[in-house]
């Protein structure tokens, strides 16, 4: 999948990315549920996550879609790329579901993740993949 990474390494990197996105979604849920006074403005409980080909842009995932998952705090399911997206609706400052994209530099050393859960609420990061197969400290690329 990635030029300089074996199939096993590629699978491991995809698992790292999906776990990172799932953890982010769960942390957002927990923080927002406990901190928000307006219960009608609840962050989404699911994200549509797309793996894209290697990044062609300085700060965004602009490559072609390769695979897609629906990710929640307790489950994730791979879905076909052809599946139509959900009807996106705004609920306060959030969408009813979030979107995330991730890609890897061709050598598999950097994971690029971008996500958003509302019209003005998202983040983009480059995260180094360490030699031991774990993720390093995220470097913020953008936020909204």
- By three-state DSSP, how is residue 61 classified? coil
pTM recorded for the entire structure: 0.85
Contacts of 86 (CB under 8 A, 6+ apart): 48, 96, 97
Average pLDDT, integer, range 75-85: 88
Closest to 139 measured CA to CA, from 112, 99, 100: 112
pLDDT per residue over 29-53, tens digit each? 876 555 555 556 788 999 999 999 8
Note the pLDDT of residue 2: 47
Average pLDDT, integer, range 84-91: 79
* Dihedral over Cα of 19, 89, 112, 55: its sign: positive
Pairing of strands 46-52, 98-104: parallel
Determine the Cα–Cα distance for residues 41 and 67; give it in Å rounded to an integer.
Answer: 30
């Amino acid at each position: 999948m990635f030029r300089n990474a074996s199939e096993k390494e590629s699978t491991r990197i995809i698992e790292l990315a999906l776990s990172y996105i799932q953890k982010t979604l769960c942390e957002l849920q927990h923080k927002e549920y406990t901190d928000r006074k307006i219960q009608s403005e609840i962050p989404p409980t699911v994200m549509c996550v797309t793996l894209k080909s290697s990044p062609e842009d300085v700060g965004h995932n602009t490559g072609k879609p390769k695979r897609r998952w629906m990710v929640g705090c307790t489950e994730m399911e791979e879905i076909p790329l052809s599946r139509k997206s959900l009807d996106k609706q705004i609920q306060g400052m959030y969408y009813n579901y979030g979107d995330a994209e991730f890609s890897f530099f061709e050598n598999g050393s950097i994971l690029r993740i971008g996500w958003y859960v509302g019209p003005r609420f998202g983040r983009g990061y480059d995260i180094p993949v360490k030699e031991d197969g774990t993720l390093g400290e995220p470097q913020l690329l953008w936020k909204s």
